[in-house]
Amino acid sequence: MNYLVTIAYDGSKFFGFQRLNEEMSVQKVLEEALSKINKKRVLVKGAGRTDRGVHAYGQRISFKLDISITENGLKEALNSLVKPYIYVKEVIQVDDNVHARFSVKKKRYCYKINIGEFNPLLSDYVYQSEYHLDIDKMKEVANLYLGIHDFKNFVSGERKDSRGIIYDIIFDIKDNILVITFEAKSFYRYMVRNLVGMMIEVGRGKEEVEKVLQMLDSNNSISGYTAPACGLYLESIEY
């Protein structure tokens, strides 16, 4: 049976989502728990390979089990093995052709910035800016990102194709936390953190909007700024 599962996790407690040799990863914890339940090795496919320190409200995973178990029974069994830093929110049995990664239609990531007084309790969960940020300037940069672009200068590593489409970027402020939400079909490695990084650089007055224009759709390699992982959350995924 094939399952599609929604999970949340505290990324500060893991070396990223993807399975590593000995380091603790989200995928490793899930596979070990599912293999216990299934009494046979289970491989987990994730919708997004979040990096070390990146959190998730709505990561999606898919996997196949040999045993017969109800959706609620599987949710309870998994949570008994993966808490407290991972929590299974929903379990759905799906057709065999549903794949957590390849069936995705839209992803939402959000980035959180503390624009108020420094709070040591938030250090693993938001980026705490040392500078005053001009949010209007940051919105001006965000508008440049919308639509279809070649994001080569905002992606880590070499790719044959770094083109993508961003549908929407939303700004919201509550209790001195600026939340910037990105909606797109897909995101490449470090892409959101690099997009936010240039917003921050322009917002603090270190860079001009013109540099962002130079970076977009350019064949030249132009370096920017990568925002810290702690502020990034995989919010939701649509199929």
Is 151 in a helix, a strand, or coil?
A: coil
What angle in degrees, to the nearest 10, is found between the helix axes of 191-203 and 135-145?
140
Concerning whether 51 is annotated as a catalytic residue, the answer is yes
pLDDT higher than threshold 90 for residue 158: no
pLDDT classification of 218: cutoffs 50, 70, 90:
confident
List the one residue out of 112, 17, 109, 117 whose CA is nearest residue 61: 17
Using the CB atoms, write b or e for 156-181: b if 16+ within 10 Å.
eeeeeebebebeebeeeeeeebbbbb
Instruction: Domain 106-238: give its CATH architecture.
Output: 2-Layer Sandwich (3.30)
Task: Copy the structure tokens of residue 50.
Answer: 């979040």
Average pLDDT over residues 185-199: 96
Q: What pLDDT is stored for residue 159 in this prediction? A: 79
Decide if 65 contacts 71 (C-beta within 8 A). no
**Interval 65-84: pLDDT, tens:** 999 999 999 999 999 999 99
Asked whether this chain's domains 2-94 and 106-238 adopt the same fold, the reply is yes
Active-site choice (51, 124, 136, 150):
51
Question: Residue 22: which pLDDT band, with cuts at 50, 70 and 90?
Answer: confident
Domain positions in the chain: 2-94, 106-238
Q: What is the pLDDT of residue 188?
A: 94
User: What is the CATH number that goes with domain 2-94?
Assistant: 3.30.70.580
pTM of the model: 0.94
Q: In which band, very low, low, confident or very high, does the pLDDT at 194 lie, cut at 50, 70 and 90? A: very high
